[in-house]
Amino acid sequence: MSNPYYVDEDKPWFKPEAGWPAEAPKNLDFPTHSLYEALAHSAQRYRSRKAVWFLGTFMTYEELHRRVLSLAAGLAAQGIRKGDAVALILPNSFQYVIGYYACMRLGAIVTGVNPTYKPGEVLHQLRITGVKAVIVLDSLIETLLNPILKEYPIPTIIVTNIVDQVKMSGFKKWLGKKLGKIPTGVLPSGAIPFKDLMRTPPHPPEVNVSSDDVATYIMTGGTTGVPKAAVLSHFNCVSNMVQLEAWLYQGASGACNVGVLPLFHSFAMTCVMNLSVQAGMWMMLFPKPPDIESLLKTICDIGEDHHTFYCGAEVLFQRIADFPDVHKYPIADKLSYCISGAGPLHRPVQERFEKATGAVIVEGYGLSEASPVVCAGPLTKGVRMIGKIGLPMPGTDWKIMDIETGTRTLAPGEDGELWVAGPQVMVGYLNQPQETADTIVTEDGKRWLLTGDIGHMDEWGRVTISDRKKQLIKVRGYSVFPKEVEELVGSHPDVLEVAAAGLPDEASGEAIKVWIVLRPERRGSITEEEMSAWCKENITHYKVPKHIEFREDLPKTLVGKVMRRHLQEADPLFKGRQE
């Protein structure tokens, strides 16, 4: 049977002049096994090899696999079946990895939830995805889960403490909780301790999970900026991690993979967790981003010599590059390759980081709808593609189409919408057939994903992104949807109208600004500082506007649409940005 994802090897980006590494395959035969089967294979192959490090404790592949099977058996005993949605409201931890792969074993569908969300944001995600069970950190119960249980009763609540799977004496755990050094919380009525399920014999029922079955629901803004769930199959996720492994042609087996990015985000799900399992790497997981000194110390203490891999947003690499004491740490003996995603990688940051660490850092590009990796720069010393988003993953095709009709392929240098095709392109949006039809187009036997990003190709088929059709705001690597910010700020009783957009910000890449029209009777009775305080109390930290401006009105088109871009481009911070 012919490969439906075959890309013509005469495409210009495959030429040596384009920077395509001779060692990297242009096409791949993509496997049709499940994510769990990938773990089972690695557990058999790398039985005693390190799989995960967390809070000072290592877990081997054999240990990880056994715990996955125990939890899968425990979940099945609680009635979790194939096709059920399970929410993981957890930071990076042993429990997240175990919970994810246990669901994969049963054919359940994981939706990772940001543990810093506010209750209303969690409720929105649970409703959209139809969650039947949650695995949640005990310290989040009171603030995050209890407020929504009346509106959304959850049949199965599994509660864990952050140190449940950490190798630490029972006395130390008890003392840490007693002294408040280990966060904890009160279990709701009927909740099931995670530890109890882990005592289940590791013999879950046999479940036929095919590569076409759904693996995960990833929250995304899609093309309209309204949060929805991208449906990714096992085939999507497995294909993307196989593509990444092929791109790391220097060899990833046994490498340390630094996991500062949150696993509920598609970037870390694939580039940290699934890639590690596929390639026999081990994950260095942090429950929250550590300060730079702690990060450098940990990498230098336990990272693999010249074999440590780090995926992150530009701001994370910038902090290392600018850390005044970076040269006190032998980081150059540890870091080998880094990929910067979730926004552009600027030349000054790249050069400073490489000088400080000796590692190769390249820019990558992706979106949740593509599992998420579409492309990355070649991890070859001396090959630089500043301003370009890299080369497409093996088996990935792309083209630039005209924005007006979507029927004309554009020539090099012409700006249009980036379309991509490959095995990593999502199944669609959950319960959103029209959104799916507007985003995925079948043409020439391929399913093309309309990315919503505007850019152009050069003569070698390499892409430069010049604008975001979706108007997403990138804050420290997080995708923030203007429409969602507007809805959240607009819920304040004094707000009549609001518009949100991103402005250049040295620390976070972009910062959110909102322009607010107050209700006539409330004008003069609330300050911008008071509005900012309300936002910090009611909105997740990275969605909180940094800048607030009260206005008499908002500029609108003739049909009444608020002109966000007009506000953005008229702002002094936007005008004064450094090109």
Are 364 and 503 in a shared domain?
no
Mean pLDDT for 407-434 is 95
The answer to whether position 128 is within a domain reads: yes
Predicted confidence at residue 566, as pLDDT, reads: 86
Using the predicted structure, report yes or no on whether residue 578 has a pLDDT greater than 50.
no
Range of the domain at 38: 12-376
3-state class of 450 per DSSP?
strand
pLDDT > 90: what percent of the chain?
70
The answer to whether position 165 is within a domain reads: yes
Predicted confidence at residue 558, as pLDDT, reads: 44
| Residue 346 banded pLDDT, cuts 50, 70, 90 | confident
The strand ranges marked E within 412-529 are 416-421, 428-429, 440-443, 446-457, 463-468, 473-475, 478-480, 495-505, 509-518
Predicted confidence at residue 227, as pLDDT, reads: 72
Predicted confidence at residue 172, as pLDDT, reads: 67
**Which of 355, 376, 397 marks a domain boundary?**
376
| Residue 69 banded pLDDT, cuts 50, 70, 90 | very high
Mean pLDDT for 242-269 is 94
Mean pLDDT for 333-337 is 93
Are 209 and 324 in a shared domain?
yes
Q: How many domains does the chain have?
A: 2
Give me the CATH number covering residue 206: 3.40.50.12780
Predicted confidence at residue 472, as pLDDT, reads: 73
Predicted confidence at residue 223, as pLDDT, reads: 47
Are 218 and 341 in a shared domain?
yes
Predicted confidence at residue 174, as pLDDT, reads: 58
Mean pLDDT for 276-289 is 96
Using the predicted structure, report yes or no on whether residue 237 has a pLDDT greater than 90.
yes
Q: How far apart are CA 451 and CA 375, in angstroms?
A: 13
Predicted confidence at residue 345, as pLDDT, reads: 79
Mean pLDDT for 18-38 is 96
3-state helix, strand, coil in the chain (%, to 5): 35, 25, 40
**Which of 376, 410, 439 marks a domain boundary?**
376
Using the predicted structure, report yes or no on whether residue 380 has a pLDDT greater than 90.
no
Q: Are the C-beta atoms of residues 71 and 101 closer than 8 Å to each other?
A: no
The H-or-E segment that residue 40 falls in is helix 35-45
Using the predicted structure, report yes or no on whether residue 291 has a pLDDT greater than 80.
yes
| Residue 529 banded pLDDT, cuts 50, 70, 90 | very high
Q: Which long-range contacts (CB under 8 A, 24 or more apart) does 19-22 make?
A: 19/377, 19/378, 19/380, 19/383, 19/385, 19/391, 19/460, 19/462, 20/378, 20/391, 21/249, 21/378, 21/379, 21/380
Using the predicted structure, report yes or no on whether residue 36 has a pLDDT greater than 90.
yes
The answer to whether position 429 is within a domain reads: no
Are 361 and 480 in a shared domain?
no
* pLDDT per position as a tens digit, 131-149: 999 999 999 999 999 999 9
- Count of C-beta atoms within a 10 Å radius of residue 229: 25
Are 238 and 100 in a shared domain?
yes
Global confidence as pTM: 0.83
* pLDDT per position as a tens digit, 498-523: 999 999 998 888 999 999 999 889 99
The answer to whether position 413 is within a domain reads: no
Using the predicted structure, report yes or no on whether residue 1 has a pLDDT greater than 70.
no
Omega within 30 of 0 (cis) for the link into 372: yes
Q: How far apart are CA 40 and CA 340, in angstroms?
A: 30
Least confident of 38-42, 90-94, 210-214, 565-569: 565-569
The answer to whether position 97 is within a domain reads: yes
Least confident of 79-88, 200-209, 302-311, 398-407: 398-407
Are 366 and 486 in a shared domain?
no
The answer to whether position 34 is within a domain reads: yes
Are 479 and 371 in a shared domain?
no
Predicted confidence at residue 299, as pLDDT, reads: 96
Average pLDDT, the chain: 91
The answer to whether position 465 is within a domain reads: no
Using the predicted structure, report yes or no on whether residue 474 has a pLDDT greater than 90.
no
Are 366 and 482 in a shared domain?
no
The answer to whether position 83 is within a domain reads: yes
Are 22 and 159 in a shared domain?
yes
Predicted confidence at residue 348, as pLDDT, reads: 77
Burial (CB < 10 A; 0-12, 13-18, 19+), residue 10, is exposed
Are 23 and 133 in a shared domain?
yes
3-state class of 285 per DSSP?
strand
Give me the CATH number covering residue 532: 3.30.300.30
Predicted confidence at residue 175, as pLDDT, reads: 63
Using the predicted structure, report yes or no on whether residue 476 has a pLDDT greater than 90.
no
Mean pLDDT for 39-64 is 97
Using the predicted structure, report yes or no on whether residue 432 has a pLDDT greater than 50.
yes
- Count of C-beta atoms within a 10 Å radius of residue 552: 7
* Secondary structure (DSSP) of 64-75: HHHHHHHHHHHH
* pLDDT per position as a tens digit, 149-188: 999 999 999 999 998 888 876 656 656 666 666 777 778 8
**Which of 347, 376, 405 marks a domain boundary?**
376
